[in-house]
Amino acid sequence: MKFIILVTFLTIAPWASAQKSALPEPLNLLIQQGGEVVEQFDAPAGMQGYIADFRGQVITLYVTSDDKYMFTGAMLDTQGNNLGEQAIQDYMSGPKSIKDWKQLETSHWVLDGSPAAKRIVYTFTDPNCPYCSKFWQNARPWVDSGQVQIRHILVGILRADSQQKAAAILAAEKPSVALAEHQVANSLPNLKPLLEHSTDIKRKLMENHQIMMVMGASATPATFYQDETGVVQKQMGLPPEAMMTQILGHLKEN
């Protein structure tokens, strides 16, 4: 099994850190390449099953009884049941959801909407992304009603000046106003790129990009929200009209 080497950082969970020295050697290979072993469960034929979080993707791993070999994927019984499915669901709806939301909260976001709005949505935004602007425009009824606040996590990945434009918004006296003015213009070049920005702004943009990678997002917009059960969900790309209520909630008339 091949793993893509991450150039970003991942924080190893306390369980993984405590168990690292006792883990079978094949699992240490996963950890060395940025993965996180988060759960362990019993598997048949003397094997051990593990749940791992790798670049935002949750996978099942199985290690043979001699601790020498590892394989990933679904293990099915004679009835076709996936033996690791329940362990994955428990992790996705519990620890991972909590961890992902806390990770998003630590990002350097720009507020769109009222800080008192109860529903919070995070979206990774590139200033040169036309679909990000379209999502901003489509969300106006929810944001303007005060029901939803969208927290834009600025990144610069699309064009050569994307990072400089993101820096200009973050460094503005009122970042929320700068973002709104830019989005109203529908990504026209009204925003002057900030060619020289401070170390602090550079750090914030770097950390935003790292969080984006950790969350398994590779393009903008990448939107994260909590469903009706509180589980964090992800929408890649411009949300279709049919999904707007799912992401932003039912629009209530004032």
Residues 160-189 have pLDDT tens digits of 999 999 999 999 999 999 999 999 876 445
Residue 140 has pLDDT above 70, yes or no: yes
Is residue 101 situated within a structural domain? Answer: no
Q: Is residue 32 part of a domain?
A: yes
124 & 238 share domain: yes
Cβ proximity of 125 and 221 under 8 Å: yes
For residues 146 and 54, membership in a common domain is answered with: no
Residue 202 scores a pLDDT above 90: yes
Domain that holds residue 53: 14-85
Confidence band of 145 (pLDDT split at 50, 70, 90): very high
Domain with residue 26: its CATH number is 3.10.450.70
Compute the mean pLDDT over every residue in the chain, rounded to the nearest whole number. Answer: 87
Mean pLDDT of 38-58: 87
- For residue 239, being part of any structural domain is answered with yes
Whether 136 is covered by a domain: the verdict is: yes
118 plus 211 within the same structural domain: yes
Is the model's pLDDT at 157 over the cut of 80? yes
> Number of folded domains in the chain?
2
Residue 226's DSSP bridge partners are 232
The more confidently predicted of residues 18 and 168 is 168
Is residue 96 one of the residues assigned to a domain?
A: no
Say if residue 61 is in the same domain as residue 146.
Answer: no
Is residue 103 one of the residues assigned to a domain? no
State the Cα–Cα distance between residues 64 and 107, nearest whole angstrom: 39
5, pLDDT greater than 50: no
Question: Could you report the per-residue pLDDT of 228-241, keeping only the tens digit for each?
Answer: 999 999 999 999 99
Share of the chain above pLDDT 90, in %: 61
Considering the domain boundaries, does residue 9 fall inside one? Answer: no
Sheet holding 148-154, edge to edge: 109-112, 148-154, 119-125, 222-226, 232-236
- Final residue belonging to a domain, choices 22, 54, 85: 85
pTM over 0.85: no
Please name which of 231, 228, 232, 234 lies closest in space to residue 250, comparing C-alpha atoms: 228
pLDDT tens-place string over residues 73-118: 888 888 898 988 888 888 888 888 999 999 999 999 999 999 999 9
Distance between CA atoms of residues 3 and 13, nearest Å: 19
Q: Which band of pLDDT confidence, cut at 50, 70 and 90, is reported for residue 1?
A: very low
